[in-house]
A and B are shown apart, each in its own frame.
Chain A
Amino acid sequence: MRSMIRRVISLSGLDVSECLEAGDGVEALEMVAREWVDVILADINMPRMNGEELVRRLSEMGITTSVPVIVVSTDGTSLRRARLMKLGAKGYLVKPFAPEMLRDEVERVLGVANAN
């Protein structure tokens, strides 16, 4: 999924200088502690620390107020979506999604209009 997302981002027309990858929530937390990022895309299903716990931790650290988090999940239920948004996620993308849906969601949470 990370390679596919990387490809979509690179083709999106968004001005991306660097795309960092973390293998799980623990790695992601370590990464945002030492790198400045503009947006975080997090899958729900990750080893060690899942996406829900990651959003919870980012929110507790106050990071979600300045860095939008988009959760990517196969779970399209409204309960899960509401839970993640309440935890601090700014976007929620249900898999499967077309590449342009990912681009649109990134643009929406970043407040970028018509990047292409």
Chain B
Amino acid sequence: MQTEMISDALGDAAQSVLETMFFVSPEGTAEPAYPQDVPLLGVGLRFSGEWSGTFELQTSITSARTLAEGFVGTLDPSEVEGDTTTEVICELANMVCGSTLTRLAGDKIFDLGSPHLVSLPPLPRVEAPPDSTATRALDLGFGVIAFTLTIGAPE
């Protein structure tokens, strides 16, 4: 698996999920970097099966809250509490990871683990060839969101 292929699948999946379910149109790719004083939210999950590996998502807490508002469909930001934001971003991670793997895996069966908050820096890397990991960051217009997928050996 080549880094470029993973990166393209990540970008396509993230774009589709954000537009369809979060009503956000990313304005293009971005550098996966944030100012040091911006509080960040990180979510990770593992997947197993014919393919195994890890998926990580990172964005600012402010951007996460804006995404949650779009997903829940409220115009009142006070309706979106911290727990709701976390749940929505975990759901976003689940959808982008699953959608990316579907694009890459063809008919390989895989199982996604439960997304959970990760301390930043995110999960330790799984054992994987150097070209089996990719990061794609998107400019949301109100912040940056970065996704990293690492594909290892079958479990």
- Decide if A115 is an interface residue (CB 8 Å cutoff): no
Among B91, B107, B112, point to the contact of A77 (Cβ < 8 A): B107
- Write out the residue numbers on chain A whose beta carbons fall within 8 Å of the beta carbon of B108: 77
- Decide if A60 is an interface residue (CB 8 Å cutoff): no
Q: How far is the CB of A77 from chain B (nearest CB, A)?
A: 5
B114 touching A47, Cβ below 8 Å: yes
B17 touching A96, Cβ below 8 Å: yes
Smallest CB-CB separation from A7: which chain B residue? B73
A96 touching B109, Cβ below 8 Å: no
- Decide if A97 is an interface residue (CB 8 Å cutoff): yes
B91 touching A75, Cβ below 8 Å: no
- Decide if A1 is an interface residue (CB 8 Å cutoff): yes
Smallest CB-CB separation from A97: which chain B residue? B20
Q: How far is the CB of A70 from chain B (nearest CB, A)?
A: 17
Q: In the complex, identify which listed stretch (B3-11, B56-64, B96-104, B122-130) lies at the interface while the others stay far away.
A: B96-104
- Write out the residue numbers on chain A whose beta carbons fall within 8 Å of the beta carbon of B107: 77-79
Q: How far is the CB of A16 from chain B (nearest CB, A)?
A: 17
Among A1, A47, A76, point to the contact of B91 (Cβ < 8 A): A1
Smallest CB-CB separation from A4: which chain B residue? B71
A96 touching B72, Cβ below 8 Å: no
Among B72, B105, B114, point to the contact of A3 (Cβ < 8 A): B72
Q: How far is the CB of B80 from chain A (nearest CB, A)?
A: 10
A95-B95, A96-B99 known; A75+B21 contact, CB < 8 A: no
Q: How far is the CB of B115 from chain A (nearest CB, A)?
A: 9
B20 touching A77, Cβ below 8 Å: no
B102 touching A75, Cβ below 8 Å: yes
- Decide if B25 is an interface residue (CB 8 Å cutoff): no
A74 touching B98, Cβ below 8 Å: yes
A45 touching B112, Cβ below 8 Å: yes
B98 touching A80, Cβ below 8 Å: no
Known contacts A95-B94, A96-B21, then 17 further A-B pairs from the complex at CB < 8 Å, ordered by chain A residue: A4-B21, A45-B114, A74-B97, A74-B99, A74-B101, A75-B98, A75-B101, A75-B112, A76-B102, A77-B105, A77-B108, A77-B109, A80-B109, A94-B102, A95-B95, A97-B20, A98-B20
Interface, chain B (partner A; CB < 8 A): 16-17, 20-21, 71-73, 84, 91, 94-95, 97-99, 101-102, 105-110, 112, 114
